[in-house]
Structure 1
Amino acid sequence: MPTGARPIPGPLSHEVARILRTAMNDQGRQLKDVAKTADISASQLSRVFNGLKVFTLDQLDAVCAALDLSTAMVIAKADAATADRPLPRIAPLPTIPRIGVIGFNVGAHDEDQALAASDDADWQARQEHENE
């Protein structure tokens, strides 16, 4: 349920805005042109670039497309540039029950956790083998 509070832009949001602003300037584009192409208001884009507003994922994707940038690459660059930022505490992902032939397996939770643990162990073993 929404709290009504607006998210405060953090280091990652500021870095994303810096990357996009730099790309826009390097391309010789105007903010109002990029905003129009991305189908968002120039004032919204300006607020993001000035660190007053956080992009929604759809807005970020639209602005990246307007600048002919990969959204994933922009996020990856911003993430790498702000790697020392404090990370929020993240709750574990919920376990999704497996669907059996007839329906949901009632006791699937323990089985899923065991499978996830073995998948993690397999992944770690593959990583160690690749790094040798």
Structure 2
Amino acid sequence: MPEPQRLATLVATVVRNYAEETYVSQAELSRKSGVSQPHISNVFTGKSVFSIDQLDAICSALGLKVTAVIHEADSARRR
């Protein structure tokens, strides 16, 4: 049985997919959130994770609720 994905990885996937669907570039997301573009790139490629404060800033920049993002990621993990 394959190991389930880490919640942090799935959270990054939810955020990345939403940003792509709404045509928000990493540079724009960085500008709006205050999280560096290289860090966003590292999170989106699985090399790092967002801190809670960074996730809050990213979600605010995208107009998302942190709880909704975590819930969606957790639901995906349990499928």
Q: TM-score, normalised by structure 2?
A: 0.88
Larger radius of gyration: 1
How far off is 1:40 after superposition? Answer: 1.0
- How far apart in 2 are the matches of 1:68 and 1:27? 11
* Counterpart for residue 32 of structure 1: 27
Equivalent position to 1:22, from 1, 17, 40:
17
1:12 aligns with 2:7: yes
In the alignment, is the contact (CA less than 8 A) between 2:12 and 2:49 conserved in 1?
Answer: no
Question: What secondary structure does 2:78 align onto?
Answer: coil
- How far apart in 2 are the matches of 1:73 and 1:29? 19
* Superposition map of 1:2-81 within 5 A: 11-81=6-76
* Superposition map of 1:109-128 within 5 A: none
Paired residues, number: 75
Q: Please report the RMSD computed on the Cα atoms of aligned residues, expressed in angstroms.
A: 1.2
Counterpart residue identity of residue 79, structure 1: D
Runs (4 or more) in structure 1 with deviation over 4 Å come to none
- Gaps (5+ residues) in structure 1? 1-9, 85-132
Q: TM-score, normalised by structure 1?
A: 0.54
Identity %, equivalent residues: 33
- How far apart in 2 are the matches of 1:73 and 1:27? 17
- How far apart in 1 are the matches of 2:25 and 2:40? 11
How far off is 1:83 after superposition? Answer: 2.0
* Counterpart for residue 3 of structure 1: none
- Gaps (5+ residues) in structure 2? none
